[in-house]
Amino acid sequence: MKIRILGTAAGGGLPQWNCGCEGCATARRTGAVRSQDCLAVSADGSAWYLVNASPDLRSQLLAAPELAPPPGTRATPLRGVLLTSGELDHTLGLVTLREAAELSVHATAPVRTALHEAFPVGPLLAPYTKARWHTVAAGQPVELAGGLVAEPLALGGKRPRYAADPAGLPAGDPAAERADWVVGYRFTEAGGRARAVYAPGLAAWTPALDRAVADADVVILDGTFATDDELAERTGGARTSRGMGHLAVADSLPHLVRRPGPRYLYTHLNNTNPLAHRGSPEAAALAPALAAAGAAVAEDGTLLDL
């Protein structure tokens, strides 16, 4: 199994276009930038799947040689997209894929509904490409090309802000109440032994996630905020990390310590998170605790060969 980490920042990226905070200013000055959270995965190294479609997708695809079409062809190695949420930072890139001859998109029922109603990228794409939409459900593994198997893990009921108003969905629509607005995926390979978990939005450490990480080689997980009160401290607001559907690094680390073995990589880092800034004093101070848990911060462009 191969995994290309295409982007590691939360929505807005690093630097964020309208932010002049110390971290964003440093990123502008040094060029140590992060693009928005996105992943590519393949069991056989030939058939690749995107997990999420970030707003930075075009430049992310151009930077990944294995995702280029063979010279003289339009035979993209991309077989489809799996979505972990309907958030804009995970779905705006679907528009970038409109040149594809055909496009398979896998999403949970509430996300699929949202992407045809509140944010109608489904109907928008229809005149451009032959899109095929597939509903995935927690605990029901999906068999994909190249021997890749993806098992969705239900991780939370947090809706995207654009779909926050239940009145925005048709009356009585069960999508309004679903707990699988946010999922992770456990990837395995037919006939192989590599196992990987990707969970960039993690509201809580669920029993299904706990089971999934137990035998994983690599776990790429939610590193949006370092602490639960980080955003409130840095911006003066009242929103907690947990309240935004993100378990802070300080709160997931004890679970990592309890489940040693996998290589843990934190992704989807917000620009307020000191861990997003390589070499910052705060990141250096947190490094020993991360290392003790077998964890590190994911970096854009990393290729994992499992």
Q: Note the Cα 146 to chain centre separation in Å.
A: 21
By CB under 5 A, is residue 11 in contact with Mn ion?
yes
> Would you give the binding string for Zn ion spanning residues 222-261, x where CB under 5 A is met?
----------------------------------------
Contact between 33 and Zn ion per CB under 5 A:
no
89 binds ligand MLT (CB under 6 A): yes
Spatial distance between the Cα atoms of 27 and 64, rounded to a whole number of angstroms: 22
121 binds, among Zn ion, Mn ion, ligand MLT, none (CB under 5 to 8 A by kind): none
**What's the CA gap between 25 and 23, in Å, rounded?**
5
Asked if residue 4 lies in contact with residue 40, where contact means CB atoms within 8 angstroms, the answer is yes
| 302 Rama sector, left if φ>0, alpha if ψ -120 to 50, beta otherwise | beta
How many binding residues for ligand MLT (CB under 6 A)? 9
Pick the binder of ligand MLT from 149, 176, 232, 244 (CB under 6 A).
244
Per rule CB under 6 A, is residue 13 in the interface with ligand MLT? Answer: no
Q: Which is nearer to Mn ion, 7 or 122 (CB)?
A: 7
Q: Which of positions 77-116 make contact with Mn ion (CB under 5 A)?
A: 87, 89
223 binds ligand MLT (CB under 6 A): no
∠ CA 176-178-181, nearest 5°, is: 100
Kindly write down the DSSP assignment for every residue of 83-145, as one continuous string.
-S---HHHHGGGGGGGGSSEEEEEEEHHHHHHTTTTS-HHHHHTTTSEEEEEEE-TT--EE-G
Check binding of 10 to ligand MLT (CB under 6 A).
Answer: yes
**Binder of residue 245, out of Zn ion, ligand MLT, Mn ion, none (CB less than 5 to 8 A by kind):** ligand MLT
From CA 29, how far away is CA 161, in angstroms rounded?
32
Closer residue to ligand MLT (CB): 142 or 199: 199
Binding positions for Mn ion, rule: CB under 5 A: 10-11, 87, 89
